Chain A
Amino acid sequence: MNCLEFRRAAGADPQHLTGEALEHARGCAACARYLAEVRELDVRIARALAVPVPEGRPAAAVATVTHTRRRYLALAASVLAAIGVGLVGWLALAPPSLAADVVEHMRGEPESWDSHTPASDAVLEKAMQRGDAWFTTMPGRFMYVQSCWFRGHYVPHLVLETGDGPVTLLLLRNEAVKAPTDFDEGGYRGVLLPVNNGAVAIVTRGAALSAELEQRIAAAIQWTS
């Protein structure tokens, strides 16, 4: 493989190069540099592609709406009006896209709240590694652990057992939150807390967690990159 062939291959699929291509990069400093540049550009492209997602209509409305343009527009207008009237307070408190996406994600995994079996250390470690995160001190036992695709990245989705019931954590390495932001929507109450250059979403289905426990959780989170 020559340099031109290598660069075409690396420019097309930089994460899945053949053994021959990787061998070429090992022996060619210029092509190794090219590959590093392409991969670095891909990280930036991924970040750029993750545009903010606006608030959406609930899927229930989608599933029942009659498919005529006029009714669709009328319903969309009424839903928008309802959102405008009913959620003004919430929208004023939280960045709509991140808080709304957290709530949407909660709705998508209702079973996560009902697990009664602690997750294994290996499963937790894998999810944390994938999300570039780790705990300096374990905040408790996790009854549910998943690595979830969220806003363009894999994030650890954890459910912590507490005396007040299950508490969900989404560890968001790639989301910047400037200040603690409360939200209360659709039966989910939570807070977005800044953690270095990332954030953690802490969500309950009942009473809000104590501020002390929230801070303890946030303080225990470190990012690995």
Chain B
Amino acid sequence: MINAADGRDDRQRFEALSAQLRPELYRFAFWLARDRAIAEDVVQETLLRAWRSWGNLRDAGAAKQWLFTIARREHARLYERKRFETVDVDKLITSEAPALAAGDEREVEDLRRAIAGLEDDYREPLVLQVLFGYSTQEIASHMGLTQGAVLTRLFRARNQLRKQFGLEAVDDGGDET
């Protein structure tokens, strides 16, 4: 039986977890959407859905991955609902300039623009690996891919960034595994 105290405890735990993970959730959503307003929508929708399904979370240690999975779905759903027009990366980067530059020096700004310009399929695994420390196996599970496909996408993401920054690029190989 659920009593009022259980409900309060649940809510406090959820609030604490949300507060702790919100910055990471926002950054994940931002790099999915490359748009601050959409990222904030995704975060709010994600937390709403997470609260409704809170009872299904068995392992608190898996909370971040659970929230990221919900966020990924919410981003896709928002995208579908709003039927965003095909994104012109240059235009989007200009409109998001404050977030992409945000008080940092030029090099960081340039790199943010380059990352924002990567294809979605390449950018997401890179964000998960470099910013959040996901293993390639975890990325594969999160994105519903084989580990080989994740490795290929990560390689291509870095290779494209290397090219843009004048570093020696490697033969990018054939089809995705």
Contacts and interface: CB of A to CB of B under 8 A. Distances in A.
A13 B155 CA distance: 8
Given A16-B135, A54-B26, A11 B155 contact: yes
B92 interface: no
A70 interface: no
Contacts of A52: 99, 102-103
16 contacts: A11-B158, A12-B152, A38-B162, A44-B108, A45-B126, A47-B108, A52-B103, A58-B19, A59-B16, A59-B17, A59-B18, A62-B51, A63-B18, A67-B48, A109-B20, A151-B23
Contacts of A151: 23
B30 A51 contact: yes
Interface in B14-57: 14-20, 22-24, 26-27, 30-31, 36, 40, 43-44, 47-48, 51
Interface residues of A, number: 46
A61 B24 CA distance: 19
A53 B15 CA distance: 18
Contacts of A34: 168
A11 B159 contact: yes
A108 interface: yes
Contact of B100 (A51, A60, A76): A51
A51 B102 contact: yes
A205 to B, nearest CB: 16
Interface stretch (A99-107, A136-144, A193-201): A99-107
